[in-house]
């Protein structure tokens, strides 16, 4: 009966043409908020990239060395190669370290706001350092 | 006899001297400026307005200017001043003016707080932006429709439940000091809805996700040693939405306005939800379903 009541709430409010108060356009952004959406974004990106790579490996003719030679022959400068490497390394590093932060939350630790910031900055720092290291390898 | 002078920054001084007779005499003199005129400190307030009684009205921002020298320190003081002296049509909820009733919850400068506890920023170059609580249907101006929030609270049965009701009202139900301490940080919630309306998950799923405020109260009853329906309370959350839309974004804890002084940082619904999730992993599902 509570369920029926709630349905009436939605019907009433939309029939009265009441506006919805602004949210994403007015809410103040914060580091934890940005880190959360970045975790989601890198997750979607990594998932999509792995699926795309798997599909490509399945469908495209020719083997791995053929495509490696193709990329070499494009004579892309070292800076752009580095950028591409960083572009892959950063999502992997960030999502992994923030994933560990999520596991830490799952056991119930680190929920005080100063701790959220401290672990957050640690994840950002480790991700940047790891990504740069992987790029330079 | 000795003389002591104390001068303070407010340009008035106290001269105290003790004559041999032993009486302490003190004179107070104040420096008066020629035309004692204090510069007005004008602060701009940009407030969200919408009138349901004006057909075709669109939500808009209206700017009001207030001299902070003639206004109390909190945002609620400014809103009341605007309503009393400048625009009586400005509509908002308020009651206790001391952070205990939860009526004046709104979004001020991008964060959800209680207007009665939020000090006006004295930086005159920036306006104070006031919006209603985010992603809620607007009844008028800064007043949101809270009925869905209250219905969700009702759905978690926020009252003591015993297996045997026969002893109700006869004696106190005893509780150890340690068990009572578990309720600290949970019972103080005033259901202002600042946390729930700060949660992006609640924005996108307000119909099915209960939100941090209601979930923290569910936890409050789960860990109350006098309540005997913990497992049933847990099994009620066993679906993809009621509890599990929480992704630990942590806007809730960050925005809670129940800050009594410098040492208490506000309540922590994020932690309460994490504790519920832990309990959900270990409670005896089958036993609760059999009831």
Q: How far apart are CA A129 and CA B64, in angstroms?
A: 48
Pick B278's closest partner by Cβ from A26, A32, A108: A108
pLDDT digits (tens, 9 = 90+) for B210-251: 999 999 999 999 999 999 999 999 999 999 999 999 999 999
pLDDT for B52 equals 94
Pick B144's closest partner by Cβ from A21, A105, A111: A21
* B156 and B128 in a common domain: no
pLDDT for B9 equals 46
The answer to the question of residue B215 being in a domain is yes
Q: From the CB of residue A65, how many other CB atoms can be counted at a distance below 10 Å?
A: 8
* B203 and B122 in a common domain: no
Asked if residue A88 lies in contact with residue A50, where contact means CB atoms within 8 angstroms, the answer is no
The answer to the question of residue B4 being in a domain is no
Q: What is the DSSP annotation of chain A?
A: -HHHHHHHHHHHHHHTTPPBPP-TTTSPP-HHHHHHHHHHHHHHHHHHHHHHHHHHHHHSSS-HHHHHHHHHHT---HHHHHHHHHHHHHHHHHHHHHHHHHHHHHTT---SHHHHHHHHHHHHHHHHHHHHHHHH-
pLDDT at B11 over 60: no
A95 among annotated binding-site residues = yes
The answer to the question of residue B69 being in a domain is yes
Cα angle B29, B31, B36 (rounded to 5 degrees) comes to: 130
* B109 and B240 in a common domain: no
Cβ neighbours of residue B279 closer than 8 Å, sequence gap 6 or more:
B222, B230, B234
> What is the distance in angstroms between the Cα of A29 and the nearest Cα belonging to chain B?
8
The answer to the question of residue B5 being in a domain is no
pLDDT for B16 equals 53
Task: Kindly tell me the sign of the dihedral angle through the C-alpha atoms of A51, A56, A58, A63.
Answer: negative
The answer to the question of residue B90 being in a domain is yes
* B131 and B50 in a common domain: yes
Asked if residue B74 lies in contact with residue B89, where contact means CB atoms within 8 angstroms, the answer is no
* B150 and B121 in a common domain: no
In the structure encoding, which two tokens stand for residue B44, read together?
């701009």
Would the CB atoms of B200 and A24 count as touching at under 8 Å? yes
The CATH number covering residue B74 comes to 3.10.20.30
Pick A28's closest partner by Cβ from B58, B110, B132: B110
* B122 and B155 in a common domain: no
The answer to the question of residue B16 being in a domain is no
For A5, the closest chain B residue by CA position comes to B151
* Domains of chain A, residue spans: 34-136
Phi then psi for residue A79, to 5 deg, are -65, -45
Q: Which residue's entry shows tokens 């001020």?
A: B108
* B264 and B192 in a common domain: yes
Task: Please report which helix (H) or strand (E) contains residue B204, including its range.
Answer: helix B200-205
In the structure encoding, which two tokens stand for residue B266, read together?
């506000």
Contacts of B198 in chain A (CB under 8 A): 27
* B126 and B52 in a common domain: yes
pLDDT digits (tens, 9 = 90+) for B177-189: 999 999 999 999 9
pLDDT digits (tens, 9 = 90+) for B160-206: 999 988 888 898 999 999 999 999 999 999 999 999 999 999 999 99
pLDDT digits (tens, 9 = 90+) for A54-88: 998 888 887 778 888 887 777 778 888 889 999 99
> What is the distance in angstroms between the Cα of A83 and the nearest Cα belonging to chain B?
30
DSSP three-state, residue B215? helix
* B236 and B268 in a common domain: yes
Question: What total number of domains does chain B contain?
Answer: 2
* B181 and B275 in a common domain: yes
* B151 and B107 in a common domain: no
pLDDT digits (tens, 9 = 90+) for B92-135: 999 999 999 999 999 999 999 999 999 999 999 999 999 999 99
Measured between its terminal Cα atoms, the distance across chain B in Å is: 87
The CATH number covering residue B277 comes to 1.10.1060.10
Would the CB atoms of B265 and A23 count as touching at under 8 Å? no
Positions of chain A with pLDDT under 50? none
Query: What's the domain range around B266?
Result: 146-160+177-290
Could you confirm whether domain A34-136 is CATH 1.20.1300.10? yes
The answer to the question of residue B1 being in a domain is no
* B156 and B125 in a common domain: no
């Amino acid at each position: 009966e509570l369920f029926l009541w709630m349905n009436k709430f939605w019907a009433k409010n939309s029939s009265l043409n009441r506006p919805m108060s602004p949210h994403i356009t007015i809410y103040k952004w914060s580091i934890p908020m940005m880190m959360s959406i970045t975790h989601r974004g890198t997750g979607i990106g990594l998932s999509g990239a792995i699926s795309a790579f798997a599909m490509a490996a399945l469908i495209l003719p020719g083997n791995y060395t053929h495509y490696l030679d193709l990329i070499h022959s494009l004579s892309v400068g070292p800076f752009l190669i580095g950028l591409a490497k960083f572009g892959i390394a950063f999502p992997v590093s960030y999502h992994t370290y923030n994933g560990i932060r999520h596991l830490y939350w799952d056991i119930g630790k680190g929920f005080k706001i100063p701790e959220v910031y401290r672990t957050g900055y640690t994840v950002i720092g480790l991700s940047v350092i790891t990504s740069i290291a992987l790029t330079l390898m | 006899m000795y003389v002591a002078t104390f001068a303070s920054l407010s340009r008035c001084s106290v001269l105290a001297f003790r004559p041999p007779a032993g009486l302490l005499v003190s004179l107070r003199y104040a420096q008066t400026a020629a035309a004692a005129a204090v510069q007005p400190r004008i602060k701009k307030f940009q407030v969200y307005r919408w009138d349901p009684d004006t057909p075709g009205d669109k939500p808009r921002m209206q700017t009001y200017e207030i001299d902070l020298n003639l206004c109390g320190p909190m945002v609620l003081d400014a809103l009341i001043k605007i309503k009393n002296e400048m625009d009586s049509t400005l509509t908002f909820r308020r009651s206790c003016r001391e952070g205990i009733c939860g009526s004046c919850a709104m979004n001020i400068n991008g964060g959800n707080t209680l207007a009665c506890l939020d000090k006006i920023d004295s930086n005159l170059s920036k306006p104070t932006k006031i919006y209603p609580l985010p992603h809620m249907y607007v009844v008028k101006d800064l007043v949101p429709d809270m009925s869905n929030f209250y219905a969700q609270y009702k759905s978690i049965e926020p009252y003591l439940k015993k297996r045997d009701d026969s002893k109700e009202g006869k004696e106190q139900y005893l509780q150890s000091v340690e068990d009572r301490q578990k309720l600290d940080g949970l019972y103080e919630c005033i259901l202002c809805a600042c946390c729930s309306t700060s949660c992006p998950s609640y924005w996108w799923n307000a119909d099915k996700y209960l939100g941090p405020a209601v979930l923290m109260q569910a936890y409050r009853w789960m860990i109350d040693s006098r309540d005997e329906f913990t497992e049933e309370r847990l099994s009620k959350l066993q679906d993809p939405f009621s509890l599990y839309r929480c992704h630990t974004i942590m806007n809730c804890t960050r925005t809670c306005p129940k800050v009594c002084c410098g040492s208490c940082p506000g309540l922590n619904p994020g932690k309460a939800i994490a504790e519920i999730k832990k309990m959900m992993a270990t409670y005896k599902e089958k036993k609760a379903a059999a009831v």
